[in-house]
Amino acid sequence: MSVSTAAADRAALCATGTAEPLPVLGRDVTVPLVTGGEVTYAALDYAASAPALQRVWDDVAAYAPYYGSVHRGAGYLSQLSTDLFENARRTVAEFLGCRDDDEVVFTRSTTDSLNLLATALPAGCQVFVFETEHHASLLPWQDARVTYLDAPRTPAEAVATLERALAGRDPHGPALVCVTGASNVTGELWPVTELAAAAHAHGARIVLDAAQLAPHHPVSVRELDVDWVAFSGHKLYAPFGSGVLAGRFDWLREAAPYLAGGGASRKVSRRTDGGVDVEWHESAARHEAGSPNVIGAYSIASACKALTEAGFDTLVAREQHLVDTVRRGLAEVPEVRVLSLFGDDAPRVGVISFVVDGWNSSHFAAALSAEYGIGVRDGLFCAHPLVRTLLGSDPQSQGECGAPEAAPGEKSLNAIRVSFGAGTPDEHVERFLRAVKELVTDGARWNYRTEDGRCVPDAGTENPAGTRSGTGPAV
């Protein structure tokens, strides 16, 4: 059997929904219901933090007894840990399809990676970023000459919008474009290759926020022709607070270290005037001061290997089956409106946001959790301008009360987000759809109240008649 035939067979298997999810931690955890009893927890908040792959946990557990400090220790465990840390760097570079001269810098998260790049921008650099970005990629550039671009409503409009903005920039100075690969709100895929071509045609560089893309689709720095890519381990089924910034190193090499300290410095000496002279590393170590998160880096590498070995053809096909199932199920409920920038036919990963007519989103999410054991997310998803645009509200206006982001007395809009991935069983998705239909049809079986900005079950106040309100102090 050829490789292409095998891939086609795997895709066909996944399309039927019969392929098995990857083993993840927490798949057998049970949680209590306010209505009595317990149920296996349905984790449908992958876009915030995906559960750890069992493979990752097993690899980390096997290494943990051999943990040691890296780079400067003479002992066996230190040398072993150093090899493991640097091999993790190579594994990530291979996973991302990096070019030969690219560097992989280990950070704390996507947010940390993009803030690192922001500190390395050359003087006078112009930055172009769509208002649709997650705050991690929207906010780090405020010390630069930043241009915020309006939300496009088609991929072609995104490219045209960027080209117009770049055409009007100072052609002699450096420029950077920052764009997401997949929206953390709608799950929609962005035209990264076309945006990269537009950036380079106008002499700009481009950084890809792959936090929501890398866990769901293969990402190749070389094939996408981006200059940098950033992502977080905790969204890639790898806990322990580690992230990656991978790509060109010239701007990073010329910049002052992100943090000053041991590991970033190659040589430090006293001067005759009482000060110190510092020679900084010119490799990734330049921006990895302090004792690095070895286990975090190793867990990312383990996840990269696990996803590669599982085969993205299989993973993408199975996830598309789940996406189609959720979208079909939600379409059967007239009160539900799915949020989208690019339209129903836009390709997307397993991230879907929606609102329910007659419901405050915080109340709906609380009922999913308390009455069905389903974990989703509600709010503005650290993408406030985008969600407000999708909900038809001016970014500066106020909306309905009840959103957890709202300060006391302030009004705000919010939505519900369901997200899933390689570890999601079909049963979790099916339970979610049943719960949505029951809540819309029959109302919540329990009363809820607002506490510290969150909608929570009101102790001992079952609501036999059901209710669809949810914005008051007690419902």
Mark whether 455 is an active-site residue. Answer: no
Contacts of 150 (CB under 8 A, 6+ apart): 130, 131, 161
Q: Please, what's the b/e burial string for 205-239 (b: 16 or more CB within 10 A of its CB; e: otherwise)?
A: bbbbbbbbbbbbbbbebeebbbbbbbbbbbbbbbb
Give the separation between CA 49 and CA 14, rounded to whole angstroms.
24
* Helical ranges in 332-425 per DSSP H: 361-372, 384-390
Measure the CA–CA gap between 367 and 290, rounded to whole angstroms.
Answer: 44
- Give one DSSP letter per residue of 52-80, joined into a string: PBHHHHHHHHHHGGG----SS--SHHHHH
Q: Is the dihedral of CA 309, 313, 314, 315 positive or negative?
A: positive
Q: Which of 125, 382, 401, 455 is catalytic?
A: 382
DSSP characters for 115-179? HHHHHTPPTT-EEEEETTS-HHHHSTTTTSEEEEEPPPSSHHHHHHHHHHHHHTS-TTS-EEEEE
CB atoms inside a 10 Å sphere around CB 9: 13
Local structure of 12: helix, strand or coil: helix
| 3-class SS shares of the chain: helix, strand, coil, % to 5 | 35, 20, 45
Residue with tokens 């669809």: 468
Pairing relation of β-strands 336-338 and 228-232?
Answer: unpaired
Question: Rounded to whole angstroms, how far apart are CA atoms 15 and 10?
Answer: 9
User: Across the strands, what pairs with 446?
Assistant: 462
- Which residue stretches of 393-425 are H helix? none
Taking Cα atoms as reference points, which of 90, 96, 110, 5 lies closest to residue 47? 110
H-assigned helices in 255-377: 294-310, 312-331, 361-372
Q: For residues 117 and 207, is the Cβ–Cβ distance under 8 A?
A: yes
Active site residues: 382
